[in-house]
Amino acid sequence: MMMMGIGLLFMLVIGLVVIGVPVLIAALIAGGGGLATLFKPKTRQAEPDHSSSPHEPPVDKKCPACGRTVRPDWNVCPSCGAALM
């Protein structure tokens, strides 16, 4: 009885390998990335820049404390917390 269970388990594993591996390879090829897709780190998409509105031209205003570019309508620098004039 024990031998039958081991044999059945062995047949299932072999069946999964024989059928599963080619299906996995075909899916990766169809996806266009190949096997390198599995090992390539995911890249994050750049977030859209909301620093200036499309209606007004960008103005180069700098924080007097840290020198970072800030928007004209800001009262406090988001980087260092300094008051903006």
- Note the pLDDT tens digit of each residue in 21-75: 888 777 777 766 665 666 666 676 666 665 555 665 566 788 989 988 888 888 8
Report if residue 50 sits inside a domain. no
Report if residue 65 sits inside a domain. yes
pLDDT at 24: 76
Which run of H or E residues covers position 61? Answer: strand 61-62
Report if residue 75 sits inside a domain. yes
Distance separating alpha carbons of residues 30 and 24, to the nearest angstrom: 10
82 touches 70 (CB < 8 A)? no
pTM beyond 0.85: the answer is no
Report if residue 40 sits inside a domain. no
Report if residue 71 sits inside a domain. yes
